[in-house]
Structure 1
């Protein structure tokens, strides 16, 4: 059987439980405080933005690498057979835009 507890032991037990309850209530108060909730929300948003920005960076970096691979060989030398047609196309488009703009000004 268990031994009978003294009133002093019971009071000490009650005092200990009160202290534990006070600590628990303080923790709940901190967790439910509006500034804590807002801080947690900000942290979650910042984390999501960082992840999204990281994914976007990886995607853009991959795309740039793919485009670069089209115009530069593995040895780092430019691939003239691909650069010249693209350059001619770009010059042609700029010329067409310039002619179109000049016509609009005359009219």
Structure 2
């Protein structure tokens, strides 16, 4: 059979429960405070932006590496067999634009 508690023990238990409840309510108040919510949202947005920027940098670096590998050999020398045709096409296009503009005048 359960032993009856003394009034002092009951009062102490109630005081401890009130203290725990007060701490819990304070924690809840901090969590739902607008500045806390705003800070949490800012942190999430910042993390998302950082992650997106990081992923974009990785993709851009990959594209640059692939493009570089098309015109530079693994030993660092230029791949003239690929650069010369691109240069010829570029000069032809620029020449065509210049001739076209001169004809319009």
Question: How many residues are matched?
Answer: 105
Once the two structures are TM-superposed, the CA of residue 54 in structure 1 deviates from its matched residue by 0.9
TM-score of the two chains, using structure 2 as the length reference: 0.90
**1:1-107 alignment to 2 at 5 Å?**
1-103=1-103, 106=105
> Displacement of 1:101 after TM fit?
4.3
Cα distance between partner residues in 2 of 1:29 and 1:64: 51
Quote the offset at 1:74 in angstroms. Answer: 1.1
Question: How many Å apart are 1:75 and its aligned residue?
Answer: 1.1
Task: Mark the runs of 5 or more structure 2 residues left unpaired by the alignment.
Answer: none
Q: Which runs of 5+ in 1 are unaligned?
A: none
> How far apart, in 2, do the equivalents of 1:101 and 1:22 lie?
81
1:103 deviation in Å?
A: 4.8
In 2, Cα distance between equivalents of 1:67 and 1:33: 51
**Cα distance in structure 2, aligned partners of 1:99 and 1:57:** 40
Give the CA deviation at 1:76: 1.1
Deviations 1:48-101 (A, max 9, x none): 111111111111111110111111111111100001111122222233333444
Computed over aligned residues only, the root mean square deviation of the Cα atoms, in angstroms, reads 1.5
- Looking at structure 2, the residues matched to 97 and 20 of structure 1 have their Cα atoms a distance apart, in angstroms, of 80
